[in-house]
Structures are given as C-alpha cells and as structure tokens.
Amino acid sequence: MKVYTSPNGKETSQVLPAGTRWKVFRELNNGELWMQLGSNQWVNTASNVAK
C-alpha cells in the first residue's frame, strides 16, 4: 500500500505490507477517500484498499 505525504501529495518511499491493520487518525473526502495514519502519512483508499 503506497503512502503519501498528504492527500494528492508526493508518494513516499514507505510501503505498508498487505493485510496489516493501521489506526486511522483522520479521514478526508475530496472526491477520493484519504485516511491519515500518522504525521505526513496518508493512504488513498481508492487505489489501496482491497474490497
């Protein structure tokens, strides 16, 4: 799962392993649902979360 610095921000070198769980601190919906996992750690649910 790719991690970004902010919603629609730069992709970081961090990749979260598939199947792991993370605490979500904040959600933002700007046409796409983003979840903040930590300081400057955002994931885009549309491109990352298996359904």
pLDDT digits (tens, 9 = 90+) for 16-42: 998 889 999 999 999 999 999 999 999
The DSSP letter of residue 40 is T
Dihedral sign (CA 5, 11, 16, 18): positive
pLDDT for residue 51 is more than 50: no
Q: At 10, is the secondary structure helix, strand, or coil?
A: coil
- How much is the pLDDT for 38? 95
Element (H, E) at 28: strand 26-29
Number of Cα atoms under 13 Å in the Cβ half of residue 2: 15
pLDDT for residue 49 is more than 70: no
Query: 41 or 48: whose pLDDT is higher?
Result: 41
pLDDT digits (tens, 9 = 90+) for 2-19: 999 999 999 999 999 988
